[in-house]
């Protein structure tokens, strides 16, 4: 199986995504989506941005590599009565079946950044977006002191080295890399803008319990705990991540979790 597909089908990201809904809707509200727009959400998960986009757009297509997340998105769309929203399986590095110049707005929040070939991701996003349309990406930032970058950094320290040629998804959080990748797809640097933005995780329980969801359902964290256990270091990893989650909690209450995480918002005019 495709390793990226296996990673995201391993757990159940819907359990994490439930804590991201408010920020997903807030981001979509800022994108200027209207009823005459056709929108692509690439690496959509179960629809954290696709569902609020469908309430504004003429039509939305959510594409994700994980079949379980596609099925979850379809269920959420049906429950919400959004007949202009559909989900399908697809790989961000090869959007076969999607015609050129199909979408007015193409979105990917913390999705396409995890695909293994970033230049192909940029090429495909540009290919399927209409001239004059825009691409919006949300990418985690390497070395950032907030939650997700530190979670992934800590998890990586407990897992075996990646295979030769592996390109870290975190490289999408570096502006020069983004400019280079879209430049190779024919986009001039002055057509790309960057903004530091925030996604806030909200969970109705204590931070250690919220971490438990990542341990049980988030592929990268699951892999880290499995590798740590083989080396007798799973308790050490647990302590380190618990401290991370507790120290970043801004709810002001030990029984509630509110954790902001900084990301790089990329906007590309095609």
* Residue range 156-199, pLDDT digits in tens: 999 998 888 899 999 999 999 999 999 999 999 999 999 999 99
DSSP 169: G
Beta strands 257-269 and 129-140, pairing class = antiparallel
Residues paired with 61 in a beta bridge:
40, 86
- Residue 12, pLDDT above cutoff 90: yes
Would you say the pTM of this structure is higher than 0.85? yes
Tens digit of pLDDT for each residue in 87-137?
Answer: 999 999 999 999 999 999 999 999 999 999 999 999 999 999 999 999 999
Question: What pLDDT is stored for residue 163 in this prediction?
Answer: 87
Name residue, tokens 């990893």.
237
Closest CA relative to residue 50, chosen from 16, 22, 73, 83: 73
Question: What pLDDT is stored for residue 1 in this prediction?
Answer: 72
Residue 125, Cβ neighbours under 10 Å: how many? Answer: 27
CA pair distance 184, 51, nearest whole angstrom? 31
Tens digit of pLDDT for each residue in 130-167?
Answer: 999 999 999 999 999 999 999 999 999 999 988 888 99
CB-based contact 155:162 (threshold 8 Å): no
Tens digit of pLDDT for each residue in 13-27?
Answer: 999 999 999 999 999
At CA 6, angle to CA 129 and CA 218, rounded to 5?
90
Host H or E run for residue 105: strand 103-109
What would the two tokens of residue 195 be? 């903004």
Residues paired with 136 in a beta bridge:
107, 267
Q: Which residues contact 32 (CB under 8 A, 6 or more apart)?
A: none
């Amino acid at each position: 199986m495709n390793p990226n597909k296996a990673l995201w089908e391993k757990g159940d990201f819907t359990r994490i995504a439930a804590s991201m809904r408010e920020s997903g809707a807030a981001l979509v509200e800022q994108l200027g989506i209207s009823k005459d727009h056709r929108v692509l959400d690439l690496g959509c998960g179960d629809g954290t941005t696709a569902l609020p986009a469908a309430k504004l757009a003429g039509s939305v297509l959510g594409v994700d590599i994980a079949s379980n997340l596609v099925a979850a998105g379809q269920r959420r769309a049906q429950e919400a009565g959004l007949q202009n929203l559909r989900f399908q399986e697809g790989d961000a590095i090869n959007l076969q079946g999607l015609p050129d110049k199909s979408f007015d707005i193409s979105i990917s929040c913390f999705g396409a950044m995890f695909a293994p070939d970033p230049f192909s991701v940029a090429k495909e996003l540009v290919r399927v977006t209409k001239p004059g349309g825009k691409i919006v990406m949300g990418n985690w930032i390497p070395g950032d002191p907030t939650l997700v970058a530190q979670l992934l950094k800590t998890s990586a320290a407990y897992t075996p080295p990646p295979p030769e040629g592996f390109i870290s998804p975190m490289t999408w959080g570096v502006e020069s890399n983004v400019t280079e990748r879209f430049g190779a797809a024919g986009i001039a640097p002055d057509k790309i803008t960057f903004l530091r933005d925030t996604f806030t995780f909200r969970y109705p329980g204590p931070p250690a319990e919220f971490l438990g969801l990542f341990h049980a359902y988030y592929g990268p964290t699951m892999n880290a705990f499995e590798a740590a256990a083989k080396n007798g270091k799973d308790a050490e990893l647990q302590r380190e991540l618990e401290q991370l989650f507790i120290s970043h909690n801004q709810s002001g209450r030990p029984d509630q979790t509110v954790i902001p995480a900084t990301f790089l918002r990329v906007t590309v005019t095609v």
